[in-house]
Structure 1
Amino acid sequence: MQITILCVGKLKEDFLRLAQREYLKRLHSYARLEMVEVREEILPPTGERNAVETVLKKEGEHLLQRIPDNSYVVALDREGVMLTSEEFADFLHNLGLQGQSKLYFVIGGSAGLARTVLDRASMRLSFSKFTFPHQLMRVILLEQLYRAFKIIRGEKYHR
């Protein structure tokens, strides 16, 4: 299975880049994984609704251009379904059994994800009702992917 994590923006903090690098290294023996970044649009300081929608639309277009038609898309969305780590592992395992070879996880920018991206998603996944910085969400997703593959293979991982 080829897993692509499609993100808005670049990692700015060294500690997040180090954590991402570490989990990518750990995941190397479990899956082919690629991080793809698209440009983050600048949100105006006023936060006007129309301006936010314009930013979401532009970022959404950049994201959708990167997703092949035959891909299974998981949009990270606070309003999505919440799974336990074991359920997430089962989800990944079942996708593989169903022959899904291209899996895309999509992480929006600070304004979230455009409706067009959410509509394209095969699944909307939430890690919490909390709002996390989109850059930190990458590391959280990578950790959960690593944990899921350990569960799938029956390997030890701390609880």
Structure 2
Amino acid sequence: MRLHLCAVGRLRAGPERTLVYDYLGRFDKTGRALSLGPVSQHEVEDKRGGGMEAEAELLARAVPSGALLAVLDERGRVLSSPEFAAQIGGWRDSGRQDVAFVIGGADGIAPALRDRADFALSFGRMVWPHVLVRVMLAEQLYRAATILAGGPYHRV
């Protein structure tokens, strides 16, 4: 099952970019044997200043046709790491070929795109900068792969 990380904004050189690439690289290595991955990153930028609606249009175009649409949103479900791993495993086991995780910009995801989502995930009730959400999602994808592989990374 291919994963797509669709996000507003470009990761600039720095610690966040280093962490995202490190965790996604680890995920790709661990996930390969589990029929997970690779993860493709799709970065979009609204250079015209059209706000959430313009960003949503760009994000929607970045999502592959037929992909399950999973948005990162503060109103989404809060899952434990094992529950998140089970969700990913369930999508894979049901024959899903593509899952697209969508991260909006500073103002979030436009309601029209959010309402189209098949799944909404929250990293808690706090609001996180969208760049940190990318880091946290990359880390949780790697953690999910290690949980599904029965590895020692996750301790309950």
TM-score, reference length from structure 2 = 0.90
Offset at 1:12? 3.2
Structure number with greater Rg is: 1
SS in 1 for 2:73: strand
**Equivalence for 1:22:** 22
Offset at 1:13? 5.3
1:139 paired residue among 121, 135, 145:
135
SS in 1 for 2:26: helix
**Equivalence for 1:84:** 80
Alpha-carbon separation, structure 1, partners of 2:85 and 2:144: 4
SS in 1 for 2:43: strand
Instruction: Summarize the Cα distance change of 1:134–1:42 in structure 2 as closer, same or farther, 3 Å threshold.
Output: farther
Name stretches of at least 5 consecutive residues in structure 1 with no aligned partner: 44-53
Offset at 1:94? 0.6
Name stretches of at least 5 consecutive residues in structure 2 with no aligned partner: 32-36
Query: Does structure 1 residue 67 correspond to structure 2 residue 63?
Result: yes
2:100 paired residue among 99, 104, 107:
104
1:17-53 Cα offsets, whole Å, 9 max, x none, are 111121122112212111110004576xxxxxxxxxx
1:57 paired residue among 38, 53, 60:
53
- What is the count of residue pairs matched by the alignment? 149
SS in 1 for 2:41: strand
Percent identity at matched positions?
36
Instruction: Summarize the Cα distance change of 1:41–1:76 in structure 2 as closer, same or farther, 3 Å threshold.
Output: farther
State which drifts further: 70-79 or 5-14: 5-14
**Equivalence for 1:34:** 40
Offset at 1:66? 1.7
Q: Contact 2:147 / 2:154 at 8 angstroms: preserved in 1?
A: no
Q: Contact 1:40 / 1:109 at 8 angstroms: preserved in 2?
A: no
Instruction: Summarize the Cα distance change of 1:22–1:68 in structure 2 as closer, same or farther, 3 Å threshold.
Output: closer
**Equivalence for 1:51:** none
Q: Contact 1:41 / 1:55 at 8 angstroms: preserved in 2?
A: no
TM-score, reference length from structure 1 = 0.88
- What residue identity is the alignment partner of 1:37? E
